Amino acid sequence: MDHRLAFHDVVPRHHKYHRISDLGSFEYTYKAEITSVYKLTELENLYRIRIIDAEDRRHFSFRPGQFIMLELPGIGEAPFSISSSPSNHEDMELCIRTAGNLTGVLSRAARGARVGIRGPFGTSFPMERMHGGNILLIAGGLGLAPLRSPIAHVQEHRSMFEHVDIVYGTRDQSRMLFKFQYEMWKKDDINLHVILEKTDNGWDGPVGYIPKILEDIIKSRPDTFIEQTYAIVCGPPVMFKSVCTMLAERGVPMQKMFVSLERRMHCGMGKCCRCNVGSTYTCLKGPVFDYWTVMNLKEAI
Amino acid sequence: MLFRVIDKPELRSLFDMLAEKNTVVGPVETGKDRNGRPLYAFEEVKDFKILRLDYTTTKLPAKRYFLPFREELATFRMKDDDWTKTIDYNIDKPLVFFGLHACDINALNKLDKVLMGPVYPMPYYAAKRMNMFIIGTGCEPQPFCFCRSMGADTVHHGFDLNITDIGDKYFIEIQSAEAFEMVKDLRTADLSEDDHVQYMKTIAEKNRKFTARVDTTDLTKILDMEFQSPVWKQWGDKCLGCGTCANVCPTCYCYGVEESVDPSLQKAVKTKTLYSCNVVDFAEVAGGHNFRPERSSRLKYRYYHKHRGFVEAYEESLCVGCGRCGEACLAGITVPEVIASVRGEEQ
Ligand SMILES: Cc1cc2nc3c(=O)[nH]c(=O)nc-3n(C[C@H](O)[C@H](O)[C@H](O)COP(=O)(O)OP(=O)(O)OC[C@H]3O[C@@H](n4cnc5c(N)ncnc54)[C@H](O)[C@@H]3O)c2cc1C
Ligand code: SF4
Ligand code: SF4
Ligand code: FES
């Protein structure tokens, strides 16, 4: 008798919906096109990207705080937070700092360049849960990039929130991101507080670190402010640690503060283990965590 | 599960049956070590005579057949300003594994949990795993084997056929329908009362031979409590950060991804390379920040992933106790010693 074993072919015939349980979605990239590059600062550009296939574009949806893997064929792939409104299904925006190989090549890419996109991946800021409350959106440096998506949600649902404050700390005026949006935010009844680390020519705003300005905001609000407040904090670990510690001392419960962690990522799908904090996958259980969870992760801060 | 016994010469018929139309991988002797003891490796076997089912252990697991050290995830063709991506899972035929020990089959079962679970199953692994025909075989516990402590000394699923030498016969367990089809063409017999007795005796004898042990009682909790323990620093001072332990481990699957472009600028490849969390840049991010700059924090992380994180996720640890990492480590770091020291036990 012939004992040739049967070959089981797992190559998917089609992969239209990219469910996370489909083998075919693992390495599937949406082909996308850079539709504009806008220089924000010396280091950061805002890239507007559009998935080419109209049907794919309709299916692609994300929540504020999620990230994508951006692929430049032959150069590499890296994680970036989506920095635009989830309700815009035409284009998404990425605010990217030139930091190395891939981001360097990207900074020289022209409009029309074709890139690959996988995702969206990871957890998001639970915006609906915050409806009815106050919201503090706190960013240090490049942390404003992931914050721009929840900010867009707030703008589009402004009546669902009470006090909304953006607190943004950065090094100096040349590093300020999204300057063109400040007036719009104010127009939408969002208080914007910018604090610089260094005194700067022609800067008449506050100088110092974020907790200082937060202190003033909290003081100026009614006593009931803190109990109805949620916070979203994005920035380097030292920054979110000091901010969250301070807010916790003022009475914001740890599970009402959300942070986004940055780790090295090579897959975004809980496989390569590069993103692990302790033994938690940042790409699956994060990047957005509530602060209570972060405090309980070994080696998080 | 169906149980049968076969006469010893029948094993060769089974091999020939499988090898005639399929590729067979199994343990073979590749040389001798300094002390004249044979060294073994998993390789393609065409002739039953070179198959060494009495092998002690292999330096490297059979991992290269299902998690190759380097693997192409995709290729790109570039034309003008556009590109197309082609994905290949790098397998085109089934492979027969003739003679895996329980630990190595259990290692596959553990990998299945992460790599074939409901959340982003990995097709490169799944495609290979689904095309494995596995024949397990009994083993002789070595001084470094602590599989019994890890609950990996016997295997309940994840194979097709399991063969145990019970003296003058082989006791066989038939797990899959494919295996049943094979066995139909062999001369088998039902188990006699004496075969039962012989099997129990064989198992009991094997159990008596284990010497290495790891106490896993409350280990996740103890690791949690001992995160700041000074023993990590001591082990970290010894560790060379070479990553050999992950390389030889049948359950280590971490990796990195890189892309490179052909000088013609018309082709590019995306490559996955197995990596080790003990290597210095494992957790380094843009801007140069390294989340685990010290060797001690990386070594500790490896133990936390295997003996705490994985247990929390899957109720079992990501270590089968094969002892390969300890045998291969130039610094002499072994799992039983590390765990004992964390538990505050003198070695
Ligand atoms: C969830 C998440 C969201 C992010 N969002 C943004 C964002 O909105 N804007 C932004 O500018 N940056 C963001 N980053 C950081 C961004 O991923 C890195 O800047 C990028 O990977 C650098 O790639 P490169 O090829 O240019 O650098 P490389 O030349 O590869 O290396 C530069 C440094 O980056 C590290 N690195 C390499 N690959 C990765 C990787 N896959 N993940 C992390 N670090 C890596 C290297 O260790 C090295 O230190 C985010 C990171 C994460 C994890
Ligand atoms: S534990 Fe041993 S094998 Fe592993 S990295 Fe350290 S020195 Fe190398
Ligand atoms: S950690 Fe060591 S003993 Fe455990 S499975 Fe891996 S190589 Fe074997
Ligand atoms: S990025 Fe690969 S496991 Fe999280």
pLDDT tens for chain B, 347 residues long, are 899 999 999 999 999 999 999 999 999 999 999 899 999 999 999 999 999 999 999 999 999 999 999 999 999 999 888 999 999 999 999 999 999 999 999 999 999 999 999 899 999 999 999 999 999 999 999 999 999 999 999 999 999 999 999 998 999 999 999 999 989 999 999 999 999 999 999 999 999 999 999 999 999 999 888 888 999 999 999 999 999 999 999 999 999 999 999 988 899 999 999 999 998 888 888 878 888 888 989 999 999 999 998 998 899 999 999 999 999 999 999 999 999 999 988 65
> How many CB atoms within 10 Å of residue A16?
12
pTM recorded for the entire structure: 0.93
pLDDT band at A104 (very low <50, low <70, confident <90, very high): very high
Interchain CB contact of A271 with B (< 8 Å): yes
> Do A23-121 and A127-260 share a fold?
no
pLDDT of residue B159: 96
Helices (H), chain B: 10-21, 102-115, 123-129, 177-184, 193-208, 219-225, 231-238, 244-248, 295-304, 310-314, 324-328, 335-342
Q: How far is the CA of B191 from the centre of ligand 4 (A)?
A: 49
pLDDT band at A15 (very low <50, low <70, confident <90, very high): low
Interchain CB contact of B80 with A (< 8 Å): no
**What residues are in contact with ligand 2 under a 6 Å CB criterion?**
B 239-245, 278, 299, 329-331, 333
Nearest to A93 by CA among A58, A49, A141, A31: A49
- Contact between B258 and A113 using a beta-carbon 8 Å cutoff: no
Interchain CB contact of A133 with B (< 8 Å): no
pLDDT of residue A17: 62
Rounded to an integer, the average pLDDT of A101-107 is 94
Please report residues of A whose CB lies closer than 8 A to that of B118: 20-21
Interchain CB contact of A226 with B (< 8 Å): no
Is a pLDDT exceeding 70 seen at residue A147? yes
| Ligand 3 atom having least distance to the Cα of B150 | 4
pLDDT of residue B219: 92
The first and second tokens of residue A213, run together, are 């300005």
pLDDT of residue B107: 97
Question: Which CATH code, of 3.90.1170.50, 3.30.360.10, 3.40.50.80, 1.20.58.220, is assigned to A127-260?
Answer: 3.40.50.80
Rounded to an integer, the average pLDDT of A230-248 is 92
pLDDT of residue A16: 59
A93: phi then psi, degrees, rounded to nearest 5: -120, 140
The full set of domain ranges for chain A reads 23-121, 127-260
> Using CA positions, which residue lies closest to atom 3 of ligand 4?
A270
Residue in B85, B92, B277 nearest the CB of A73: B85
Interchain CB contact of B182 with A (< 8 Å): yes
Mutation choice for A interface testing from B17, B116, B259, B290 by most A CBs within 10 A: B259
Q: Residue A53: which residues within 8 A CB-CB, separation 6 or more?
A: A30, A31
Please report residues of A whose CB lies closer than 8 A to that of B121: 21, 23, 26
The first and second tokens of residue B190, run together, are 């039902």
The Cα B122–Cα B246 span in angstroms is 20
Tell me if A264 CB under 6 Å of ligand 4.
no
For domain A23-121, the CATH class is mainly beta
The Cα A66–Cα A283 span in angstroms is 9
